[in-house]
């Protein structure tokens, strides 16, 4: 079983839709949480960190549930430019703080 798991998708949604991505992790020594975005044939880029109380950045909302070992990313009013792969990333204190990447969830926003 992978330490960080995501639904690979693809998620095909129309412009303006709200879409939610889920991510689960299996190591209780979790430390930090991030969502990265990776465009086709490009490098991953940090989208946002995820804080315990949940946090929002414009149309993007990230939530963390430590008890359930679950992270989510909500995208509201999706744009064509949101089409990308979204990577859930967790660091674990018993792994020297290395970033552990999920396999990514592909999002395709259609006009």
Q: How far apart are CA 57 and CA 4, in angstroms?
A: 23
Q: Kindly state whether residue 1 participates in binding another protein, applying the rule CB under 8 A.
A: no
Which CB atom, from 12 or from 49, has the smaller least distance to another protein?
49
Neighbours of 65 (CB within 10 A): 12
**# chain residues binding another protein, by CB under 8 A:** 22
Query: Between 16 and 54, whose beta carbon lies closer to another protein?
Result: 54
Report 15-74 residues binding another protein (CB under 8 A): 31-32, 34, 41-46, 49
19 vs 92 by CB, closer to another protein: 92
Alpha carbon 61 to chain centroid, angstroms: 10
For the chain, the 3-state helix, strand and coil shares in percent, each to the nearest 5, are 5, 55, 40
**Contact status: 103 vs another protein (CB under 8 A):** yes
Q: Is the peptide bond before 10 cis (omega within 30 degrees of 0)?
A: yes
Q: Name the residues that contact another protein, by CB under 8 A.
A: 31-32, 34, 41-46, 49, 87, 89, 91, 93, 96-99, 101-104
């Amino acid at each position: 079983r992978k330490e960080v798991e995501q639904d690979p998708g693809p998620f095909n949604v129309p412009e303006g839709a709200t879409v939610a991505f889920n991510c689960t992790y299996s190591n209780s020594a979790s430390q930090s949480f991030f969502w990265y975005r990776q465009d086709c044939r490009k490098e991953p880029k940090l989208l946002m960190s995820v804080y315990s109380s949940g946090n929002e950045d414009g149309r993007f909302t990230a939530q963390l549930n430590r008890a359930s070992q679950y992270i989510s990313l909500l995208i509201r009013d999706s744009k064509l430019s949101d089409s990308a792969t979204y990577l859930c990333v967790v660091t674990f204190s018993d792994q020297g703080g290395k970033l552990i990447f999920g396999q990514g969830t592909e999002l395709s926003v259609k006009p």
